Structure 1
Amino acid sequence: METNLRENTNYPLFDFIDLFAGIGGFRISFQDVGGKCVFSSEWNKFSQQTYCHNFGEMPSGNICDIDKSTIPDHDILCAGFPCQPFSLAGVSKKNSLGRKHGFEDPTQGTLFFEVKKTLQIKQPKAFMLENVKNLLSHDKGKTFEVIRKSLEDELGYIVNWKIVDGARWVPQHRQRIFIVGYNPDKVDIAKNDIIIPEKPEEGYAYPELRDIIQDKVEGWTIGPGTWDTLIRHKAYHSSRGNGFGYGLHTIPIKKGSVTRTISARYHKDGAEVLIEQKGDRPRRLTIIEAMQLQGYDPNNFHFPVSNTQAYRQIGNSVVVPAIRACAHQMARVLKERSK
């Protein structure tokens, strides 16, 4: 269920900020459970356009250039921060030499550092972070361990995390790590009490892929050169015994069908999700179809940018109902356990 994208209550239950905001998937989710967005930041000019078009507010620019002390006070920090490798070499070398590394924070130079610094300065009651599932295993777990230490050991938050597949809410496989934390000085909670939903609550109306895909559309057929390239690419990998290649959904689409993960490169060839067209080459998803695979309501969300930019923005976004389910749990915690 989507609501009006601008704040829909005169009595917000909590305030939140939207960092690395993209096109506002976090904002929709947290507004839907009673939150009020008091600050947003997004550096990409095209994403800013889409965000402003739908929320009536232009996000602040690059979070790296923003004085964190000027960010309004808030209860929850939301951030789908990009994953960047952390280099521990400098710190490790100084430690081995017995030197103090002072401000040589192991997360400095990464965008996670901007999240950490904001948490450190503003001390919100809670946060929710989202990232690719590989963050957990990157560099044999060392990257995530740096993040965990930063959040738990240095900042003192009570933190839990879980890999969540958006396919439980929408017909698209999309595994992401959700990281949720609470400030023990402001919220009475233990790690085991932090609930990160892995599936919708009872009564959720699951959108079937066959209901999302339109019967006849024009202008979305992939070109002959693109199709030939995709066929060769798939044949090459098949000859080597792996399943790499395009993903094609034949018509009629069966009940329970789920697509591959849509990425920011979908605009290039549509390889992740192609739709069969009888007597013709396959087609890409339309923008309206693609956005629904992320849980956006096409009646209530619009793209004022080119199709290429819209595809990129959809691929970089989040599964809105999965984020909303987690936001709902967090709103409940703040209501029942705030000190």
Structure 2
Amino acid sequence: MKMYKTIDLCAGIGGIRRGYELAGCFKNVLSAEIDKNACLTYEHLYGENPMNDITTEEFKAKVEATDYDILLAGFPCQAFSRAGKKAGFEDKIRGTLFFDIAEIIRRTRPKAFMLENVDNLVTHDKGHTFATIIEVLVKDLNYKVVGVTLGDDGALIYEPRKFIRNSRNFGVPQNRPRVYIMGFNREHFGSAVDNLPNELPKERKNPIYTDLNDLLEMDADDKYFLSSGYVETLERHKARHEGKGNGFGYKIVNLPEIEHPVSNAILATGGSGKERNLVIDPKAGVAGKVIGSKQTPLNDRGIRMMTPREWGKLQGFINYAFIDKKTGEDKFSFPEKLADGPKYKQLGNAVTIPAVEEMAKFMKKWLTELDKT
């Protein structure tokens, strides 16, 4: 079987890389990440430190000197300046990480790429951001982007919403819509790229969990239970927003009346990601307990935050992506001294590995077809 070499940009803790490795014919040869804690976890998992800055000429030269086939990147959503009609693509996107990714694609011409982003990308700046990205990839860089066709007049035809995929359809109980953009090098493969399907995979056939109840680990450590004072603050905050007709406020996601509970998106910002994903845990002896780190006794309803382990399961890192096929042992772990804060941040920033794995299988299938032509 042919192995394709990948590079992993804005790598975080390597979720995109891992999804591709699981698809079976991708081997990573270079990575880039600048968050120190994320680099520690990445090195702990893969045995290599990805500390590289994609905005530097030094790194771009390193990519040029690297023999690779596929560029992978999960990049942040940033606004582009509204450059005039005659502006070159560099001027349209300058000052953003997408500029650096596009520049690397232009200079190294990989066979294919996959980019991942938040779902707001399609509506960001009234759609201008997404339209610019697609135009740069298709027209300036000459890639066939899955889901984009050219009209007779050369106009780009596509539906932005069709680039969104939700993690909950890929085997994990998390409502996490994300944008996936996949492109194939028209220069390299020729007109055969026009035979590609017009949409990326929409689901995974065999779910990993039936719902959230299947994934939660009850009797969690006391430190994850909210203090009674904190619960009261959240109640007041919620009432205030409801009075204004807003849907903000905390959410308990596994209430008994919910038939098949699903979590909300877990977020790197911590607070909102955690407070919109509270769970009831019937652990005995918690109500009214006084523990050192909290100013008031623990609440009497069993309300707690999800643990980093549970977040790890929601993203497919724990109990899935690192299981040793021979022994059945889960090889995923964080560096020993890493605090919970960075764990939540890293998992909230990460991709859902089972969703990426389906994208990787799609890419594997079509690269194999295109390489025959």
Change (3 A) 1:103 1:198: closer
2: CA distance, partners of 1:116 / 1:326: 20
CA positional deviation for 1:207 = 4.6
2: CA distance, partners of 1:191 / 1:226: 56
Secondary structure, counterpart of 2:49 in structure 1: coil
Secondary structure, counterpart of 2:137 in structure 1: helix
Question: 1:326 maps to which residue?
Answer: 359
Q: Gaps (5+ residues) in structure 1? A: 1-10
Does residue 46 in structure 1 map to residue 13 in structure 2?
Answer: no
Does residue 64 in structure 1 map to residue 74 in structure 2?
Answer: no
2: CA distance, partners of 1:103 / 1:148: 11
CA positional deviation for 1:306 = 1.1
Question: 1:233 maps to which residue?
Answer: 237
2: CA distance, partners of 1:77 / 1:42: 14
Match of 2:315 among 282, 294, 297: 294
Does residue 186 in structure 1 map to residue 205 in structure 2?
Answer: no
Q: Is the 2:116–2:181 contact (alpha carbons within 8 Å) kept by the matching residues of 1?
A: yes
Question: 1:134 maps to which residue?
Answer: 120
Q: Deviations over 1:190-246 (max 9, x none)?
A: 275254111113x44445311211121122112334322211111111112232111
Secondary structure, counterpart of 2:28 in structure 1: strand
1: CA distance, partners of 2:106 / 2:90: 16
Question: 1:18 maps to which residue?
Answer: 8
1:73-152, aligned counterparts within 5 Å? 73-88=67-82, 91-92=83-84, 101=87, 105-152=91-138
Secondary structure, counterpart of 1:158 in structure 2: strand
Secondary structure, counterpart of 1:193 in structure 2: coil
Secondary structure, counterpart of 1:18 in structure 2: strand
Q: Is the 1:224–1:281 contact (alpha carbons within 8 Å) kept by the matching residues of 2?
A: no
Change (3 A) 1:40 1:80: same
Question: 2:22 maps to which residue?
Answer: 32
AA aligned to 1:180 is M
AA aligned to 2:75 is F
The worse-fitting range, judged by mean Cα deviation, of 131-140 and 17-26 is: 131-140
RMSD of aligned Cα (Å): 2.1
TM-score, length basis structure 1: 0.88
Q: Is the 2:116–2:180 contact (alpha carbons within 8 Å) kept by the matching residues of 1?
A: yes
CA positional deviation for 1:27 = 0.9
AA aligned to 2:340 is N
Match of 2:303 among 259, 278, 282: 282
Change (3 A) 1:335 1:247: same
Q: Is the 2:251–2:278 contact (alpha carbons within 8 Å) kept by the matching residues of 1?
A: yes
Percent of pairs identical after alignment?
Answer: 37
TM-score, length basis structure 2: 0.80
2: CA distance, partners of 1:113 / 1:183: 18
CA positional deviation for 1:133 = 0.9
1: CA distance, partners of 2:212 / 2:89: 50
Question: 2:157 maps to which residue?
Answer: none
Q: Is the 1:209–1:253 contact (alpha carbons within 8 Å) kept by the matching residues of 2?
A: no
Secondary structure, counterpart of 1:59 in structure 2: coil
Does residue 212 in structure 1 map to residue 229 in structure 2?
Answer: no
1: CA distance, partners of 2:131 / 2:315: 29
Question: 1:337 maps to which residue?
Answer: 370
Task: Count the aligned residue pairs.
Answer: 320
CA positional deviation for 1:310 = 0.4
Match of 1:256 among 260, 267, 272: 260
AA aligned to 1:208 is D
Secondary structure, counterpart of 1:106 in structure 2: helix
AA aligned to 2:356 is I
AA aligned to 1:74 is Y
Change (3 A) 1:205 1:307: closer
1: CA distance, partners of 2:257 / 2:30: 42
CA positional deviation for 1:74 = 1.4
Question: 2:164 maps to which residue?
Answer: 163
Q: Gaps (5+ residues) in structure 2? A: 148-162, 283-299, 320-329
2: CA distance, partners of 1:228 / 1:191: 58
Does residue 197 in structure 1 map to residue 201 in structure 2?
Answer: yes
Change (3 A) 1:108 1:13: same
CA positional deviation for 1:31 = 0.7
CA positional deviation for 1:251 = 5.4
Secondary structure, counterpart of 2:240 in structure 1: helix
Q: Is the 2:312–2:318 contact (alpha carbons within 8 Å) kept by the matching residues of 1?
A: yes
2: CA distance, partners of 1:239 / 1:301: 44
